[in-house]
Structure 1
Amino acid sequence: MNNKLIGIVLIIAGIFLAFWGYNIYDSAESQLTRAFSGHSPIEAWLGMVGGIVAIIIGIKRVK
């Protein structure tokens, strides 16, 4: 039961983290930065990748 609870919390946190990363990636400041320099903020990638990893670990814990 404890592993399932941890898994559910990881899935929920991963979803929020992935959405947060995408919001940073899609922000106006990030779009201007990508337009002029071609680089996207590291926070956006860390949020999206970290969220996906948390979701995967959470799914494995729930099973």
Structure 2
Amino acid sequence: MGLIRLVGVMLAVAGGVVLWTGLNARDSLAEKATHALTGKYTERTTLYLAGGGAALAGGVLLVLVGGSSRKRR
């Protein structure tokens, strides 16, 4: 496994954890009350959701398209 793919796996795992944290935060009682009153999520929850999703997508992309383990001549 190449270094780029290894970084992609680590990024995807970290992104999944951050996304999972954002999804759990979204379902909290305080977040539901804030969403009911203002119509939007708090900045922290939005950052968790967007950042986690972007990191997960970037990690998957690196794994799928990342450099091959063989060097071409």
Which TM class, normalised by the smaller chain length? Answer: 0.7 to 0.9
Identity of aligned residues (%): 29
Separation in 1, partners of 2:54, 2:60: 10
Separation in 1, partners of 2:40, 2:19: 19
Deviations 1:9-39 (A, max 9, x none): 0110011111111111111001111222323
Alignment of 1:1-63 (within 5 A): 1-63=2-64
Letter in 2 for 1:25: R
Larger radius of gyration: 2
Whether contact under 8 Å (1:11, 1:59) holds in the other structure is: yes
Higher helix residue share: 1
Q: How many residues in Structure 1 have an aligned counterpart in Structure 2? A: 63
Separation in 1, partners of 2:57, 2:36: 32
4+ residue runs over 6 A deviation: none
Task: Tell me the SS of whatever aligns to 1:39.
Answer: coil
TM-score normalised by L of structure 2: 0.76
Cα RMSD after superposing both structures = 1.2
Structure 1, unpaired ranges of 5+:
none
